[in-house]
Structure 1
Amino acid sequence: MKEKEDGVYVYADESGHSGKDIFNEQSPLYYQGALISAGDIEPIVSPIVAKYCDDNGLDRLHGFELGEQKVNDLCVELLDALRDADWQFHYTIIEKSYIAPTKFVDTIFDSYDNPAVHPLWYLTDLFRHTLCILVDDMMEGDLDKTFWGYFLADDSDGLIEVAKILLERAPFIYDPRACEVVMEGLSYAIDHPEIFTLVAAKGKSAYKKQTPNIIAFSSLLTATHRFCKPRGLGVKVFVHDQSDEFKGTMREYHNMFFGVDYEEDKFGGIPKFEQVEYDLGEFKLESSKKSPGLQVVDLFLWLIQRDIKDQNLLLTKSRILENADDFRISRGMSLAIIKARQLQIMRQEVTPEELEAGKRLNKKILKNQMTKMK
């Protein structure tokens, strides 16, 4: 392998492509995987990939074409070859239909736009995910699909019609305070639809920014920062499997957002953003035929997706997961975040001084809300 000072290399591939179609029952999950390494892994993996392709008359490796046993043998050989390399496998899993309720929350309950929503309910993990779960519960009877169609069309009138239906259902929310927040937020949105700026239809490709593909791409940009920062390295090359539909949006995100990193708040509140100081590298979209690195990602990602019973495959999968980092968007993940944040808060000791400071801040926030609403 080249020296680590050469920089970080990223090879990324996706599976379960959806675009706007987030309700395809045949493909409920979207996966993206990436191999991030200090120094280029292609000189290590290329001989293994090339030999297998030559021996079997293949132009590239695809996990779904090879089957479990062949993929397992190849992955074992690749993992052994990468034993001394500094690498990480980042993967994203998105429950595609869950994008609809989360986008509704982002549109209606964003406290920057809707002054009836206390910032605590939108800007902290615990309460924002609570809103997502509540909206998901209320969007029964294909209301989520109805909303998604209106959202992609930038149909404000349709969006407000969905809000009215949810307002009728909101009184059945079990928690009194959550019920109050949802009803006040929906009521204000219905009475003031002009405050919401919809952007999904602003331009031919604007909708792409709302899709699982770009959401996952954003998570990969963050994961790359997490890899680079502790190593003091910049990015040398960022290679993504070619995507005709999303290539422009990916380039835009790489240029505009990759230069900004953030530090998470320990309680899941507003993160602290900062400009990165290292090189962001060259962004390339390539066919996997030309990139052994992308073919390795394809195999690893294929194995990650599998519900495996075979012990040999389980062992190989565990070797990948030992060196992996994940990002998930799903109803189950929202519930897990809610439970984890509740436990964190219950265990946190609060001094009388901190309690009084919190009360003063809350009074100030409420005063600002009332001013905006008037």
Structure 2
Amino acid sequence: MFFYVDESGHTGTRIFDPEQPMLYYGVLSSNVNVDALAEEKLKQLRSRCGVARLHANELGNGGLVAIAPDIVELQKRLNIRFDLYRVAKPDHSIICFFDQVFDQGNNPAITWSGYWTPMRYVLLLKLASLFDEDLAKKAWEARIEIHDNKAEAGLVNVCSELRARVDQLPDARSRQLISDALLWTENNPSEIYYNTKTKGDRLQITPNVIGFQSVMHGIALRIKKHGRKAAKITIDQQCEFNKAQNTLANFYSKLSGSQFANGPGLPEVDFGKMPTIPITFASSANSAGLELTDIHLWVFKRAMENKELAPELFQLIKRQLNKGHTDEISLNAIAARWKRWFEELPDPTPEQIERGKELLAIDEARRVKPNETNV
């Protein structure tokens, strides 16, 4: 299979740009080499539009309407599939904060089940309700701060402000767990390993690289679904994040063929069909596949953001409704996904309830000790 990957809305560590709240990745795939087989047709369309390359942002609705039937014809002839991944950038700050501060491996004040089971998403969403934009910005600034002393001071400040808001939560157990975890962090900020250490580390935690993780897992899912191997993966060439993307792809390729168990109720981490071929970086000026990815990404992005989109362009989306795949990293997406999981849980038996109480008592005895000695 051949894959072509483009992104839109990237701002690196500047994740609170109100003009670009979402980072998008578009992945166009086919069983055939789109670069080779679409080039002649795209050459004709470029000539018709009077441009050197077909850039959706430059063509706009009017320019794309004129070539939409030709793009649909390419979709059919080359059996093109288009997958979309996006990251809500402001939410990324809060999710990062939770993953670092509430990691039970670092913070003994959190319960084992509060991090290693789906209960983590309950705590995450309750914690998120305490954040406003200003506090989320402070958490992110501390996360990307290279100097430890500044980062730890910022982290302590954020934890203190959050603890002052814990009373807003409706249930006593959430207030207790979240308050205890925050207090332990205030007393032991260096034990959380919260901040990045180098500029390279900064890139690894940006929405661009987090979203690219979804892209790689999506490619692996396509390979598994269609029973084929990856022949080529072409990424849009842009200097800032290509190195980090390449590092991640190489790391994943080494894990290909493996699966890792997760906590109870959490999905298995599956690298079984992760591609092992090196990824290729190219410009859309030299890749018909990337050219088509740019067009699809522009159309899908405008549709999802409810921006003006010519009715004639919806035919590009229509053909992908039963073929394409979408995924999102955001607080809303997490809430929707795990609400359904909790609603479908069967009622526990009396024996399970008793066993759960026993395990909770053991974990609680372990958990309360750290703050007893650090308050």
Name the structure 1 match of 2:319.
Answer: 319
After superposition, the C-alpha distances for 1:145-187 in whole angstroms (9 at most, x for unaligned) are 1221111104112101110111111122112222222111111
Asked if 1:144 corresponds to 2:136, the answer is yes
Q: Following superposition of structure 1 onto structure 2, how do residues 337-352 of structure 1 map, counting pairs within 5 Å?
A: 337-345=337-345, 348-352=346-350
Residue 75 of structure 1 contacts residue 299 of structure 1 at CA under 8 Å; is this kept in 2?
A: no
Name the structure 2 match of 1:124.
Answer: 117
Asked if 1:159 corresponds to 2:155, the answer is yes
Residue 236 of structure 1 contacts residue 280 of structure 1 at CA under 8 Å; is this kept in 2?
A: no
RMSD: 2.8
Partners of 2:264 and 2:50 lie apart in 1 by 51
Change (3 A) 1:63 1:321: farther
Partners of 1:217 and 1:173 lie apart in 2 by 34
Q: Following superposition of structure 1 onto structure 2, how do residues 186-335 of structure 1 map, counting pairs within 5 Å?
A: 186-200=182-196, 202-260=197-255, 269-273=265-269, 276=272, 280-306=276-302, 307=306, 308=308, 310-335=310-335
Partners of 2:341 and 2:114 lie apart in 1 by 13
After superposition, the C-alpha distances for 1:234-290 in whole angstroms (9 at most, x for unaligned) are 222111101201111111000012443687989983433455367522311111100
Residue 49 of structure 2 contacts residue 63 of structure 2 at CA under 8 Å; is this kept in 1?
A: no
Residue 75 of structure 1 contacts residue 300 of structure 1 at CA under 8 Å; is this kept in 2?
A: no
The AA in structure 2 aligned to 1:240 is I
Name the structure 1 match of 2:54.
Answer: 61
Q: Secondary structure at the match of 1:26?
A: coil
Name the structure 2 match of 1:10.
Answer: 3
- TM-score, length-scaled by structure 2: 0.86
Residue 22 of structure 1 contacts residue 97 of structure 1 at CA under 8 Å; is this kept in 2?
A: yes
Would you identify which runs of 4 or more consecutive aligned residues in structure 1 move more than 6 Å? 261-268, 371-374
1:352: Cα distance to partner? 4.9
Name the structure 2 match of 1:179.
Answer: 175
Change (3 A) 1:60 1:124: farther
**Sequence identity of aligned pairs in percent?**
24
Residue 252 of structure 2 contacts residue 274 of structure 2 at CA under 8 Å; is this kept in 1?
A: no
Counting matched residue pairs gives 363
Residue 46 of structure 1 contacts residue 292 of structure 1 at CA under 8 Å; is this kept in 2?
A: yes
Residue 267 of structure 1 contacts residue 341 of structure 1 at CA under 8 Å; is this kept in 2?
A: no
Q: Secondary structure at the match of 1:189?
A: helix
Q: Secondary structure at the match of 1:227?
A: helix
1:18: Cα distance to partner? 0.9
Partners of 1:275 and 1:94 lie apart in 2 by 21
Unaligned runs of 5+ in 2: none
1:61: Cα distance to partner? 1.1
Partners of 2:79 and 2:117 lie apart in 1 by 34
Unaligned runs of 5+ in 1: 1-7
